């Protein structure tokens, strides 16, 4: 008969997420998780077959938290801008989780045209909002999304790494200025 589970899957993932949130993914070990749960590491393996499986579930929990930021932003009056602000806010609020999701080394580099789909399951929703809000076709909407994501990711990365700190008003103005510049060029056919 298998041993009785001392902790539920959700309890273990919640504890793992807290470790990653505070200390980063490299701190997530069976021993450290046992300490977080005031237990040995053994009960973890009555629920998970391996640490890789637990890390995967922890990444999924971090992604779910990020998706909440984006879901709220998509209900905003200006959803495209709000999603950019939410991306940066997530980076500022959860730097270790942002690093886990968006700053890890990839085994396979993505072409720029595919990177948004590859890293963010919300990309189609965001793209649809750009088309709806600004009356752009697929190609132009995708282009403006790429350019703004690169800029937004730069701000988020500068924040996470402590290179720069930004105020919300400053971010808002920078995103607006870059967006307007790109939109004008796209509508004029310059890009």
> How many residues in total does the chain contain?
191
Q: Are residues 41 and 105 in the same domain?
A: no
Question: Does 5 have pLDDT greater than 50?
Answer: yes
Per the structure, how many domains does the chain have? Answer: 2
Are 38 and 106 found together in one domain? Answer: no
Inside any domain, residue 128: yes
Q: Which range marks the domain in which residue 165 is found? A: 76-188
Q: HSE of 160 in the Cβ direction (CA atoms, 13 Å)?
A: 24
Q: Are 52 and 69 spatial neighbours (Cβ–Cβ below 8 Å)?
A: no
Same domain, 99 and 184: yes
As a whole number of angstroms, the distance between CA 116 and CA 63 comes to 15
Task: Enter the tokens of residue 47.
Answer: 């629920």
Q: Which residues are CB-neighbours of 67 under 8 A, at least 6 positions away? A: 121, 122
Provide the b/e sequence for 167-181 (b: ≥16 CB within 10 Å).
eeeebeebbeebbee
- Is the separation of the CB atoms in 140 and 127 below 8 Å? no
CATH (domain of 24): 1.10.10.60
pLDDT, one tens digit per residue, over 25-75 is 999 999 999 999 998 888 788 899 999 999 999 999 999 999 999 999 999
Q: Are residues 140 and 176 in the same domain?
A: yes
Give residue 46's Cα distance to chain centre.
Answer: 30
In terms of domains, do 22 and 116 share one? Answer: no
pTM: 0.90
Would 156 be classed as within a structural domain?
A: yes
Asked, for residue 168, whether it belongs to a domain, the answer is yes
Q: Is 55 domain-assigned?
A: no
Q: State how far the Cα of 74 lies from the Cα of 56, in Å rounded to an integer.
A: 26
**Band of pLDDT at residue 119, cut at 50, 70 and 90:** confident
């Amino acid at each position: 008969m298998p041993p009785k589970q001392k902790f539920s899957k959700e309890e273990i993932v919640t504890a793992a997420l807290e470790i990653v949130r505070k200390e980063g993914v490299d701190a997530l070990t069976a021993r450290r998780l046992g300490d977080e749960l005031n237990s040995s590491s053994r009960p973890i393996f009555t629920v998970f077959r391996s640490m890789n499986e637990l890390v995967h579930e922890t990444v999924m929990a971090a992604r779910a938290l990020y998706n909440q930021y984006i879901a709220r932003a998509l209900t905003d009056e200006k959803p495209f801008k709000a999603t950019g602000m939410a991306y940066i806010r997530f980076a500022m609020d959860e730097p270790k989780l942002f690093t886990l999701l968006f700053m890890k080394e990839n085994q396979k580099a993505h072409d720029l045209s595919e990177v948004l789909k590859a890293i963010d399951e919300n990309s189609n929703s965001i793209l649809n909002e750009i088309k709806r809000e600004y009356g752009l076709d697929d190609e132009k909407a995708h282009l403006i999304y790429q350019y703004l994501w690169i800029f937004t990711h730069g701000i988020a990365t500068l924040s996470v790494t402590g290179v720069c700190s930004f105020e919300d008003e400053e971010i808002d103005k920078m995103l607006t200025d870059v967006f307007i510049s790109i939109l004008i060029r796209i509508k004029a056919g310059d890009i």
